[in-house]
Structure 1
Amino acid sequence: MIDGIERPPAVFDQGLWRGVLHLIVVASPPGLRAYGIEIACQIYAGFEEVTYAVSAHGADTVVYDGGVYIKEAGQSALLNAYEAIDPVGRRPRHFSFVGSEYCYEALGFSEPVIRAFSTPDEAYAWGPARQ
């Protein structure tokens, strides 16, 4: 989904607006790639510990190999817990966005929408309060 970004990228929380989380992924200097991610979510969290995001959290989870910046868990305790309390038994989707310092996880019912920016500065200017 995110093609050609240099390692390790930085992921920044640009805000949550009406249930939609806005993240940006920016290549480390001298990289010029930058992306915006919008994902409708019920729950999200940011973690400072990169080791958390790169470890496998289940048998079918994509393990970080240096080239994966978005992971989707097929099984997780969070997926199971949310499905158990959802009034109609829906199964959400659990995504992880791997960054060099902060990693973000989001639980929701849709795929992330990803947009490419021309420059990192264009990405930094993007977000729910600036659209």
Structure 2
Amino acid sequence: MFPDPTIVWRPLPSEIDGVLSPFVLDGGVWRGERRLAVVEPPPGRRAYGVAAMCIAYAAYDEMLYSVASHGEGLRYDGGVYLKEAQGSLWLKAHAEIDPLERRLRHFCLVGGEICYEFLSIQPPEIVVFADEVDAYRWAKAPD
């Protein structure tokens, strides 16, 4: 549900913080796990993986995020890239239809070109890589 002006985002500090305008590659889903490679733009060398067990997933152009009223605390300010919603219309809608009555959480990863949101039972896992080649390989290939 985008935009959702009712969301209040709280930061989830991680190793990714401080990378300026990261490129985020969506490696797809493997057995319910969404894999995203996060790479620092040149001349930077930092590369990470973000793994999340997703129930639902959405990707939006970063420009839409920068102009839409999509909650409080979303824009990247040089601090934290991963955010968690304290509540959202998406969570509410999913709770009304989920036959398993799972207690989901709503997360966001702010990328330089694409921003990703997902509903998950648990927070995403961050993996540190030596370089972007390893990060891309991890994101695209199943274990």
Would you call these one fold, judging by a TM-score over 0.5? Answer: yes
Aligned length: 130
Contact 1:5 1:33 in 2 (8 A): no
Q: Residue 126 of structure 1: SS of its match in structure 2?
A: helix
**Structure 2: which 5+ residue stretches go unaligned?**
1-13
Query: Which residue does the alignment assign to 2:23?
Result: 10
1:94 aligns with 2:106: yes
Q: Gaps spanning 5+ residues in structure 1: where?
A: none
Q: What is the CA–CA distance in structure 2 between the aligned matches of 1:14 and 1:48, rounded to whole Å?
A: 17
The corresponding residue for 2:47 is 34
How far off its partner does 1:69 sit? 1.1
TM-score by length of 2: 0.79
RMSD: 2.2
- The CA distance in 2 between the partners of 1:126 and 1:56, in whole Å, is 34
Is the aligned partner of 1:129 residue 2:141? Answer: yes
Post-superposition offset of 1:75? 1.4
The AA in structure 2 aligned to 1:71 is: K
The counterpart of 1:44, out of the listed 46, 51, 57, is: 57
The answer to whether residue 42 in structure 2 is matched with residue 22 in structure 1 is no
Query: 2:55 corresponds to which letter in structure 1?
Result: Q
Residues 5 and 54 of structure 1, relative CA distance in 2, 3 Å threshold: farther
Match of 2:93 in 1: 81
CA distance in 1, matches of 2:65, 2:120: 20
Alpha-carbon distance in 1 for matches of 2:66, 2:138:
25
Tell me the alpha carbon deviations over residues 5-64 of structure 1, each in whole angstroms, 9 at most, x when there is no partner. Answer: 4201111101101111000111111111110111001111111234417866345x5553
Shift of the 76–2 alpha-carbon distance from structure 1 to 2, 3 Å rule, reads: same
Structure 1 counterpart of 2:114, one-letter code: Y
Higher relative contact order (CA 8 A, sep 6+): 2
Cα distance, 1:99–1:3 mapped onto 2, change above 3 Å: closer
Identity of aligned residues (%): 45
- What's the TM-score once normalised by structure 1's chain length? 0.85
Cα distance between partner residues in 2 of 1:97 and 1:91 = 20
